[in-house]
A and B are shown apart, each in its own frame.
Chain A
Amino acid sequence: MTPAMPASEGLELDALSDRLLAPVFRPARGLGWLLLATGAGSLTLFVAVAYTVLVGIGAWGNDIPVAWAFAIVNFVWWIGIGHAGTFISAILLLLEQPWRTSLNRIAEGMTLFALVQAGLMPLLHLGRPWFFYWLVPYPATMRLWPQFMSSLTWDVAAVSTYTIVSILFWYLGLVPDLAVARDRARTLVARRAYGVFALGWRGSATQHRHHRVAQMLLAGLATPLVLSVHSIVSMDFAIAKLPGWHSTIFPPYFVAGAIFSGFAMVLTLVLPLRRAYRLHAFIGPRHLDAMAKMLLCVGLIVAYSYAAEAFVALRTPDPYEHEMAAVTRPRGPYAPLYWLMLACNVLVPQILWSARARRSPLVLWVVALFVQIGMWTERFVVVVTSQHRDFLPSSWETYRPSLVDGAILFGTLCFFSFLFLLMVRFVPFLPIAEQKELVHDAHVPL
């Protein structure tokens, strides 16, 4: 097949190494300022968190009936974003999609940093966060165990497993390239630092062989994980009786949504990166096109999920589900958000049917932003709208986020960007070994 980069140039391998290591050894101008800005922004997160832990959940807008709100919306949103990484690097690896190589490390990094934000939320969301460990089984003095029928305990297992596996997968792929960085480092400090993280990789054929096997295994394991994690997150809602939550369609619906927002986030990050580091050679129109098609395709699945959910709810004899779908969402107090969600997630992506749109970075970037907003709104609609009007009309009340809620959302965005920029600065985010392999395969047909 055709290589990931224009083959004709026939870049020499060492030049290629330099080229791929450039972002690390010759960071773009202004990156420092960006780090500073996002770092400062992250402070709002830490302040808001400290305040919440200090005074209690009352600092937020939550009430009864809307006992879950921003924190859970953010949690689901960030977890969802976390999915594209593993999806790209694992599933596309198994499917032997060579175009993934230039993207997978960025995507995996993004996954990790999204998981950091996500992991923070359910913890902070507890009324007594300092007892979070009561959700894991350990021989407690109270002799009590967690209650494993609750999807929240499943969450703990799913999210922690997913985080660990993502880290392992990311790091495993990184080791050979860290070795390259080690061997190309100009300063002793850099050499030592990269040397340590490279674990002394020698690039022997044996190492390469086991390395590849392990990678394939992890990819194979990560694939069902990707699908399971958001399925389980969706069960945080699906196992409840609440109209708007109590739905069997949730797992596939949530997974699609997750990959949808994940790809959108990848685009949001990759396009500026590509421009800043002139990576057009590695992330070509072909990649954009493939990403756009993924986005469109997953978007259609999401659209189908909306349709299916509404259809089932409207056909069911259950009066509560029916009112939720027929009245509360389209016409209730939060109706504008519902329609915004449909506009962003169903309408906007349709532009990607046009090939020209798919190849235009600007259009892609804007569409990606819309999808991000749309997906966040979707989680708000699912979480808040369903709670605020459930069974007993006497308890129907609305919810308004507080300043702290806003600060936390803004803070996570900053913190996420901060971590991502750190990676861009210090980690070879374009896989070197794999690129070389591709180039080589391209030149020397077997």
Chain B
Amino acid sequence: MNDTDPHLGLVPSTSLTRRRFLLGSSLVALGAEACSKPPRDDLIPYVQRPRDVIPGAATFYATTATRDAYGFGLLVESHEGRPTKIEGHPEHPASLGATGPREQAAIYSLYDPERAKAVRRRGAASSWSAFEFAMRAKESAPWSARGGEGLAVLLEPSTSLVAEARLDALRERFPEARVHFHAERSAIDRLEGARLAFGEPFDAVYSLDGADVVLSLDADLSGGGAMAVPMARAFFAKRRVESPRDGLPRLYAVETALGLTGAAADHRLAVPPGELPRVARSIANAILAALGDRTSPLAAALAAEASRESEPAFVRAAARDLVQARGRAVVLVGDRQPPDVHALGHALNALLGAFDHVVRVTRSPILEAGAPSHDVRPLLAALDAGAIDTLCVLGSNPGYSLPGDARVRERFGRAREVIHLGEHADETSALASWQLPAAHFLEAWGDARAMDGTSSVVQPLVVPLWGGRTVAEVLAALHGAAVRDSRRLLRDVFERRNVDFEDAVARGVVPHTDTLRPRAPSVDLAAVAAGLVARPSSPPTVTLAVAPHPVLHDGDLANNAWLQEMPEPVTKLVWGHALLVGPSTAASLGVRDGDAVEVASGERAVRLAAFVQPGHAEGAVTAWLGHGRRAPSLAASAGGADLAALRRLDAPWIVEPVTVRKIAGKERVIVTQTSADQHGRVAALRSTLDAWRADPAAFRQANEDPASILPERLSGSPQWGMAIDLAACTGCSACVVACQAENNVPVVGPADSALFRTMHWLRIDRYYGGTPAEPEVDLQPMLCQHCEKAPCEYVCPVNATVHSPDGLNEMVYNRCVGTRYCSNNCPYKVRRFNFYSHDDDLPESLRMAMNPGVTVRARGVMEKCTYCVQRIRRTEIDARVARRALRDGEIRTACEQVCPTEAIVFGDVSDPRSRVSELHRSPRAYAALGDVGTRPRTRYLARITNPGPEPSR
């Protein structure tokens, strides 16, 4: 079939049809179709149902995703061999049962119709066997004779034991071969800083439940970091105070662009990226002074510089609080900071006594961590020297992600053969002579280790849809390994470590494998002092801060429509990026949202859309990676500009000085929310701890239902309701994508997103208070409130939306005629209308991502959050079958289950002992727009911040 999606510009989907897939034998069929050899494992067609598979009933399998190479445990829901939904693995230290948007969206990546689907040799169709043959043949692989001289392998950083085994084998067979890891500079600098401080490239793991004062130097508490979930959960758990008497941890944040960490902070300082190390030092200086240390080499080094400028109030306050909270204070340093700032951070943590209970370190599980192999520059030099005959790029996409001065296009051209293994036809495969389809991690056998060393299994949920293979398997092909089967190799590797393989596969997580050091490591302050790089106070020019896209990362996720349409948590941008400009900088440039601007460094320049971002540091502008894709794809349809031209290998995150000027024309900027002021309405309430202590009943009135002449109609038990704690919500938007995956929420594409027709059942509203220069950010998940007196219901002429006896606001899709009156009358505007048919032109492979428990909506009908009614009914049935009562917390909505900070709680409000009832009784609880008389079943808990006496903020 060759239907193309008019909204997405998707390329035609493949011959793969859902019917053939769902007939179980299809697995075999697929295997055959994908790789021209029979599948590796025996698969039983459903015509003879396998013992442990009940058609219609979901089965869960444990597997592992990776975040920056570190393991992230998952449980994946599968229907008749179709993975449809991803949940976190409760036993995995990085997940704790929660996930982020990127894990949720992995389902889309698996079924992405644009995935690389066959081995290609110089553009022509080929096969794996042909590739393997070529790798063994003398003439096509001359290096095989010369002990691998002339062979270079470029991999993504990995923590996999299987990959390690393969690499060892490769090195054994080809001692002369070059192995390089294409690591982001940030990963290298972080470990470099650790080496400075500890003498070894340690990973530091933070358990913030022990921290009362946190200083974040451009760190990310709630984003996609390897250990973001446990950090966020621990920190925000302490922020959800139950009574005004409780204490509240205080968060100081220094950053350039307004991020979620800054949004959550009690005090935020916005500085240009080049200034941040200076701020770090003056804080360090103040701390040392407060600690009475004036003599140590570190103090001396810092004092020498600090004396040159006056410290802002922020620095004084932060230093004071950190020292006062000594032992319960910690400094977090963002990945993109240079090594000496990382080292300084470790030093401060040592001085503040944070080690041992707040911070623990471990030898990094990253393969060859801190080794020169993580630097690509020698490889590039070798290419220049013509020393590379065959370059084997496994997994990453250096053709796009390496800075411009890497001159990838030209240098790769110097190699006779370029082999690229990737999930998509991308910028690198365009340069390759062998294009190999990579296996998605849901199709692969393997393993990964978390930052704390915990090992976990990567287990396939489905035979590779397009015959993709893993890095380890290609490495095996390269050196003609004896053991080809990754599963067997994994078993061997595990059994060599005395791990029960079957048990490990079943559980996913291998217990007792974390390698955290309980004792405080010694931090060499002198070395840190010596490592400090003196920076000239930057001239008053504009700096360009380059950052990975908060959702799409460095572009490796850019082909994922769910993530492209997931509003970026702060800017609410979808389908593209922009140049983030601070309010007064914007004023001086005379630019408004959507104006075209040119950012030039030297003779190289890129054209971007301006976007005025409150709270952005003045004197600097920010742009995100992941856009301006060249390969024709969904990612390319997001537009934007490739920043490679401006970036340099040695300083990929800061480009200075740059000149920014407004140029003629407009550039596309699509946001899903244009009004940021709450207009004093009861939407996202907040208060400071002091103010709340002064008036503990501040929120009571907003939690009381206004009098109503309408009869009381809802009685009996259960009565479903929800509570959302704004003090815990970080705005990470995992719930948004989780809801999309669970409820088959369609993607509408850029054109309709621009017309405010996105379909998300759950959105996160973002409001700005305070001043444009120093905004106070409020984030509020907004979904159907399931009002007891629902205004949407009584205006529907056909009974298409009515109330269920257990308090659900039900939407009857096949009764809806689409008057849209319900949406008009919904004060929360959480109803979504199918302006087009989003299903008809959906590529077949994406239909396999559909949750069979949820109706796919037709054109012209209204839809909205159902409190995941399919989960409610399923659990009720199970309970009835087992002849037992429902347990509180047994039913978890998709958004609740995925939330890293457990900010969302669903349950029975008619049961006074349920968690949700307790939260509804909280002194922070209130009903959004309760004054409209809708009696919402979803209650919010107001956010309490804890700013110090000075600075104001």
Contact = CB atoms under 8 A, between A and B. Distances in A.
Contacts of B782: 392, 394
Interface residues of B, number: 55
Contacts of B867: none
Contacts of A144: 798-799, 815
B836 A55 contact: yes
A412 interface: no
B829 A132 contact: no
A241 B798 contact: no
Given A64-B831, A127-B820, A396-B674, A150 B681 contact: no
Contacts of B817: 126-129, 131-132, 134-135
A67 B860 contact: no
Interface in A312-360: 319-320, 323
Nearest to B752: A58
Interface in B673-692: 673-681, 683
Contacts of B929: 391-392
Interface of A: 55-58, 61-65, 67-68, 125-129, 131-132, 134-135, 142, 144-147, 149-153, 156, 239-242, 319-320, 323, 387, 389-398
Contact of B797 (A153, A320, A394): A153
Nearest to B791: A241
Given A63-B757, A153-B797, A128 B828 contact: no
B271 to A, nearest CB: 30
Contacts of A394: 673, 675, 683, 763, 765-767, 780, 782, 829
B674 A397 contact: yes
Interface in B776-810: 780, 782, 791, 794-799
7 contacts: A67-B823, A127-B820, A127-B859, A127-B862, A147-B797, A392-B765, A394-B763
A249 to B, nearest CB: 19
Contact of B860 (A65, A68, A126, A134): A126
Contacts of A397: 674, 756
A65 B828 CA distance: 10
A142 B675 contact: no
B683 A393 contact: yes
Given A147-B796, A393-B683, A394-B763, 9 more contacts: A63-B756, A64-B823, A126-B817, A135-B817, A145-B799, A152-B821, A153-B797, A391-B681, A395-B673
A432 B790 CA distance: 57
10 tightest CB-CB pairs across the interface, nearest first? A127-B818, A127-B860, A395-B829, A58-B835, A394-B765, A67-B820, A152-B797, A391-B827, A63-B756, A150-B797
A128 B755 contact: no
A135 B816 CA distance: 11
B821 A150 contact: yes
A390 B862 CA distance: 19
A152 B836 CA distance: 23
Interface string B433-445: 0000000000000
A330 B755 CA distance: 24
Nearest to A240: B825
Contacts of A389: 675
A392 B828 contact: yes
A392 B829 contact: yes
Interface string B273-305: 000000000000000000000000000000000
B834 interface: yes
Contacts of B675: 389, 393-394, 396
B932 interface: yes
Nearest to B758: A64
A166 to B, nearest CB: 23
Given A64-B823, A134-B817, A150-B795, A128 B681 contact: no
B824 A68 contact: yes
A251 to B, nearest CB: 17
B835 A241 contact: no
A392 to B, nearest CB: 6
Interface in B814-865: 815-821, 823-825, 827-829, 831-837, 858-862
A399 to B, nearest CB: 9
A149 B861 contact: no
A131 B782 CA distance: 31
A146 B824 contact: no
A127 B837 CA distance: 11
Contact of B819 (A63, A142, A152): A152
A392 B826 CA distance: 10
Contact of B798 (A134, A393, A395): A134
Nearest to A125: B819
Interface in B80-111: none
Contacts of B674: 396-398
Nearest to B748: A58
A299 B791 CA distance: 34
B932 A240 contact: no
Contacts of A62: 820, 835
Interface in B554-606: none
B797 A57 contact: no
B832 to A, nearest CB: 7
B821 to A, nearest CB: 6
A301 B823 CA distance: 32
Contacts of B763: 394
B756 A240 contact: no
A240 B681 contact: no
A149 B678 contact: no
B828 to A, nearest CB: 6
Nearest to A390: B827
Nearest to B7: A58
A103 B617 CA distance: 71
Contact of A393 (B767, B794, B820, B859): B767
Interface string B855-886: 00011111000000000000000000000000
Nearest to A153: B797
A156 B683 CA distance: 37
A65 B673 CA distance: 11
A126 B835 CA distance: 11
Contacts of A240: 791, 795, 821, 824-825
A67 B827 contact: no
B824 A387 contact: yes
Nearest to A241: B791
Contacts of A134: 797-798, 815, 817
B83 to A, nearest CB: 31
A135 B798 contact: yes
A127 B814 CA distance: 12
B817 to A, nearest CB: 5
A147 B822 CA distance: 13
A394 B779 CA distance: 11
Contacts of A125: 819
Nearest to B793: A147
Given A392-B827, A393-B683, A149 B794 contact: yes
Given A135-B798, A397-B756, A128 B824 contact: no
B796 A57 contact: no
A153 B794 CA distance: 11
A390 B932 CA distance: 12
A147 B802 CA distance: 10
Contacts of B796: 147, 150
B318 to A, nearest CB: 32
Given A134-B817, A393-B683, A56 B797 contact: no
Contacts of A150: 794-797, 821
Interface in B473-508: none
Given A55-B836, A56-B860, A134-B817, A391 B797 contact: no
Interface string B363-390: 0000000000000000000000000000
A151 B581 CA distance: 48
A241 B782 CA distance: 19
Contacts of B829: 64-65, 390-392, 394-395
A319 B827 CA distance: 14
B825 A241 contact: yes
In this complex, the member of A67, A150, A387 whose beta carbon has the largest number of chain B beta carbons within 10 angstroms is A67
